[in-house]
Amino acid sequence: MNILLINHYAGSPRHGMEYRPYYLAREWVRAGHKVQIVTAAYSHVRTRQPELAAGGTQPLDEVIDGVAYRWLPAPAYAGNGVGRVRNIWAFLSRLWRESARLAREFRPDVVIASSTYPMDIWVARRLARKANAKLVFEVHDLWPASPIELSGMSPRHPFIVLCQKAENDAYRDADVVVSMLPKVAEHMRAHGLDLRKLHIVPNGIAHNDWQGEPAPLGADLAAQLAALKAAGRTLVGYAGSHGLPNALDVLLDAAALMKAQPCTFVLVGDGHEKARLAQRVRDEGLANVLMLPPIPKAQIPALLRTFDIAYIGWQRVPIYRFGIAPNKLMDYMMAARPVLHSVEAGNDPVAEARCGVTVAPESAQAVADGLRALMACPTEERLAMGERGRAFVLAHHTYAVLAQRFIDALSAKAVR
């Protein structure tokens, strides 16, 4: 099967996030399929951008671990303003112009639109029709519901109106709809989807990233964490983006409530809120908080294994009623760490796997109480929680399993 995957933000181990397109495509290639990823040459979520030739005006083709990438020129931007809109427009318009040639040269059997925002469905539909291929719409987050509910955008804003048109068209025209979020059926039905088209394929982990000995931490970081553990400190860890959705202010508030407890809060990563959060730590004298820069992805397993408890938190927002599918939670579980989960959502993998404690979101007292409960657990009980989480991921969330579920969805009989 020839699979053409359109994902504006696709990354790779060489470039950084997003990893899902790479991991799915790699499994599909291993299973004997041919995959072409088409993506933008600039994305804010990558740590490294591809280097285009010819002054950055021509596409770049390269193969990464058997997966073909085509990077299309798109301007750099910062934030979520006009610059990002220009970047989206540049990518989609370039792909529209090249769609006939791409359909002719690659001859896809399946075209997948998978760019977070839904407007790529129109280009994917054009490609699918030219190639007489099956059209698939993959949903990461519900747009325009997400920018309306999380950013307060008006439903009458021209960009939101455009997103709504694209979402409705996608549900009408796609042969298959794949969602990472598990509780979307009624929303999609309300916007015109025949639910026989819907398949749930959540996020996951690449098993081989966790096999063998992990890449070691840098000597200074390893010594710093070892010294804390030797001093009898319980390490409460967070590894990931430092943004508003990650509810790290709540974690710092909990740290303030737990100054007398023998625990240290270790926050590793970067993001828009990192500088402000670090200033909070300094201003409030939170000596039990250690803020560290991001580390290479290969070292994440080693880092997580130093944590005694792993934290993941969310804001209390209605959009999570459709479900959550966080990558970092899969990493925590794969590292066999007991998890403190601060959330109110349509699903809760921590409760489902019985691998930790779930508490209310946006409540520092609830987070502190949950951490105290976990700290009071016998070591053997916390280890058992971690092992249940790891077993759950291995059974349901490896990319080998998820890639096959996706192929099964592609093979489903089209609904017309």
Residue 412 has pLDDT above 80, yes or no: no
Do 163 and 292 lie in one domain? The reply is no
Q: Are residues 364 and 406 in the same domain?
A: no
The model's pLDDT over 106-128, given as tens digits with 9 standing for 90+, comes to: 999 999 999 889 999 999 999 99
Any residues with CB less than 8 A from the CB of 380 and at least 6 apart, and which? none
pLDDT digits 0-9 by tens, 246-274? 999 999 999 999 999 999 999 999 988 99
Query: Do 200 and 241 belong to one domain?
Result: no
Q: Note whether 230 and 190 are same-domain residues.
A: no
Burial of 343 (0-12, 13-18, 19+ CB in 10 A): buried
Q: pLDDT digits over 64-85, tens only?
A: 999 999 999 999 998 778 899 9
Percent of the chain topping pLDDT 70: 99
Q: Do 309 and 195 belong to one domain?
A: no
pLDDT digits (tens, 9 = 90+) for 284-331: 999 999 999 999 888 999 999 999 999 999 999 999 999 998 889 999
Do 232 and 127 sit in the same domain of this protein?
Answer: no
* pLDDT, tens only, 21-62: 999 999 999 999 999 999 999 998 888 999 887 777 899 999
Residue 264 lies in a domain: yes
135 and 239 both lie in a single domain: no
pLDDT at 150 over 90: no
> Given phi > 0 = left and psi -120 to 50 = alpha, else beta, which region is 228?
alpha
Domain that holds residue 301: 208-396
**153 lies in the same domain as 273:** no
Residue 304: both structure tokens together: 């997580």
Mean pLDDT of the residues in the chain: 94
pTM, whole model, 2 decimals? 0.88
Claim to verify: residue 306 and residue 344 sit in the same structural domain: yes
Residues 171-194: what's their mean pLDDT? 97
Residues 151 and 217 in one domain: no
Q: Is residue 46 part of a domain?
A: yes
Distances (CA, A) of 249 to 29, 204, 228, 254, 361: 42, 27, 23, 9, 11
Question: The sheet that has 356-359: what strands, in order across it?
Answer: 289-292, 263-268, 234-239, 309-313, 339-342, 356-359
Q: Is the peptide bond before 352 cis (omega within 30 degrees of 0)?
A: no
Same domain, 264 and 335: yes
> How many domains is the chain built from?
2
388: CB partners within 8 A, 6+ apart: 353, 354, 355
Q: What percent of the chain has pLDDT over 90?
A: 84
- On the question of a cis peptide bond just before residue 378, with omega within 30 degrees of 0, the verdict is no
Identify the CATH number of the domain in which residue 82 sits.
3.40.50.2000
**Domain-embedded: residue 415:** no
Residues 193 and 261 in one domain: no
- Whether residue 416 is contained in a domain is answered as no
The pLDDT assigned to 416 comes to 58
**Residue 185 located in a structural domain:** yes
Bridge pairing between strands 2-6 and 34-40: parallel
Residue for token pair 């959009």: 319
* Strand intervals (E) in 215-347: 234-239, 263-268, 289-292, 309-313, 339-342
